[in-house]
């Protein structure tokens, strides 16, 4: 348990560290990257589930933008695999309900249910990959501040940032409890259910107490209920931000409206 908590904390810290590096994607305005991600999600998720090849084409966005932010696509791909169980739970019923043949690979007939199932898995992975690139190149604070500058209610952006910060706090307190448990267990690895219930209750009490202390500290420093402006060195919308949004927005819209994979398949003999 301790190793898993430490790994989770390291993963969160790696995203924040990546956002503080100086790469081309990090120097762009958070609003430009956020709007581009919204266009990507809207176009990719609007592709019919039966067009697996068209959905696969949208993998070029995280594949090409991750190196611009100093991130390895292999790392992004590995992190996106966590969503597979949830996506599989949504799409697994198509395997039993839709048996109509969709295509043939030699003598093997692939049913429509399998195509839809794979499309749902691919959609989930690509959505998470795009969001990981966005957070890894922007940082969660700058992302929430960009939402606020785009006109989202400050109540929503502040609550979203608090949830993210509280996740750090929860993992940190859980790690401390894990260390205390191991120090008092004398090598014992299994515990009865009441012991785990006590640990969860202690975790809730300690995190609530820490959260109250943090809130008082924020009020003492002049927190007014919205994120402050003027902290990021990349505050102004520049020409590079317009170019990034225009190029990727046009490419994603063309990929959605023209269906290049299907058009190319028809042209081939």
Q: How far, in Å, CA of 147 to CA of 47, rounded?
A: 26
User: Which residue segment(s) compose the domain that 2 sits in?
Assistant: 1-151+234-262
* Domain annotation covers residue 115: yes
Apex 148 CA angle, 213 and 125, nearest 5: 90
Residue-wise DSSP of 70-88 = T--HHHHHHHHGGGHHHHH
Q: Is residue 139 part of a domain?
A: yes
Same domain, 128 and 201: no
In a domain, 185, yes or no: yes
Q: Rounding to the nearest 10 degrees, give the CA dihedral for residues 256, 42, 139, 215.
A: 180
Residues 174 and 76 reside in one and the same domain: no
Shared-domain flag, residues 142 and 36:
yes
User: Which pLDDT score, from 0 to 100, does residue 246 have?
Assistant: 95
Question: What single DSSP character describes residue 108?
Answer: E
Q: Are residues 130 and 221 in the same domain?
A: no
Q: What is the DSSP letter of 222?
A: T
pLDDT score recorded for residue 175:
77
In a domain, 269, yes or no: no
Q: How far apart are CA 56 and CA 52, in angstroms?
A: 6
Residue 268 lies in a domain: no
Does residue 126 share a domain with residue 161?
no
Contact (Cβ atoms closer than 8 angstroms) between residue 156 and residue 145? no
Asked whether residue 92 falls in the same domain as residue 69, the answer is yes
User: Do 142 and 31 meet the contact criterion of CB atoms below 8 Å apart?
Assistant: no
Same domain, yes or no: 80 and 122:
yes
Q: Are residues 120 and 73 in the same domain?
A: yes
Predicted TM-score (pTM) of the model is: 0.81
The residue ranges of DSSP E strands in the chain, in sequence order, are 101-105, 108-111
- Overall number of domains in the chain: 2
CA distances from 163 to 15, 144, 170, 201, 211 (A): 16, 11, 10, 19, 11
Look up residue 235 and give its two tokens: 């505050």
If asked whether residues 206 and 88 sit together in one domain, one would say no
240 in the same domain as 171: no
Q: Is residue 267 part of a domain?
A: no
pLDDT of residue 91: 81
Distance CA 206, CA 166 (A): 12
Shared-domain flag, residues 142 and 227:
no
Residue 223 lies in a domain: yes
Report in angstroms the alpha-carbon separations of 142 from 135, 209, 214.
Answer: 9, 27, 20
Residue 241 has, within 13 A of its CA and on its CB side, a CA count of 15
Q: Are residues 225 and 254 in the same domain?
A: no
Q: What is the chain's length? A: 269
Query: Residue 106 has what pLDDT?
Result: 62
Q: Which residues in 106-119 are b (16+ Cβ under 10 Å) and which e?
A: eeeeebbbbbbbbb
Residue-by-residue pLDDT tens, the chain, 269 positions:
556 666 666 777 777 777 778 888 988 988 999 999 999 999 999 988 888 888 888 999 999 999 998 888 988 998 898 888 888 888 888 777 776 766 666 666 677 778 888 889 999 999 999 999 998 888 888 888 888 888 888 888 888 888 887 777 777 777 777 777 777 766 666 666 777 777 778 778 877 887 788 888 888 888 777 777 655 555 678 889 999 999 999 999 998 888 776 666 555 55
The reported pLDDT for the residue numbered 150 is 87
143, 234 contact by CB (below 8 A): no
Residue 81 lies in a domain: yes
Q: With contact defined as beta carbons under 8 Å apart, do 71 and 133 qualify?
A: yes
CA separation for the pair 260, 139 (Å, rounded): 34
């Amino acid at each position: 348990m301790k190793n898993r908590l430490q790994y989770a904390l390291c993963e969160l810290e790696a995203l924040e560290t990546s956002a503080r590096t100086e790469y081309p994607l990090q120097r762009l305005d958070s609003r430009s990257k956020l709007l581009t991600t919204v266009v990507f999600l809207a176009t990719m998720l609007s592709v019919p589930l039966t067009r697996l090849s068209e959905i696969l084409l949208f993998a070029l966005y995280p594949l090409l933008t991750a190196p611009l932010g100093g991130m390895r696509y292999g790392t992004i791909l590995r992190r996106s695999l966590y969503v597979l169980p949830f996506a599989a739970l949504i799409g697994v019923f198509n395997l039993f309900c839709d048996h109509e043949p969709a295509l043939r690979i030699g003598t093997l007939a692939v049913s429509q249910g399998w195509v839809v199932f794979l499309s749902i898995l691919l959609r989930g992975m690509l959505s998470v990959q795009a969001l990981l690139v966005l957070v890894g190149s922007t940082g969660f604070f700058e992302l929430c501040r960009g939402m606020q500058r785009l006109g989202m209610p400050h109540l929503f952006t502040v609550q979203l940032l608090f949830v993210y910060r509280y996740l750090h706090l929860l993992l940190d307190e859980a790690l401390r409890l894990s260390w205390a448990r191991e120090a008092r267990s004398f090598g014992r690895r299994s515990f009865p259910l009441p012991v785990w219930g006590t640990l969860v209750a202690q975790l809730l009490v300690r995190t609530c107490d820490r959260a109250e202390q943090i809130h008082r500290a924020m009020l003492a420093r002049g927190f007014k209920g919205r994120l402050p402006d003027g902290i990021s060195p990349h505050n102004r919308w520049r020409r590079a931000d317009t170019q990034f949004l225009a190029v990727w927005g046009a490419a994603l819209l063309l990929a959605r409206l023209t269906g290049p994979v299907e058009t190319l398949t028809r042209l081939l003999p």
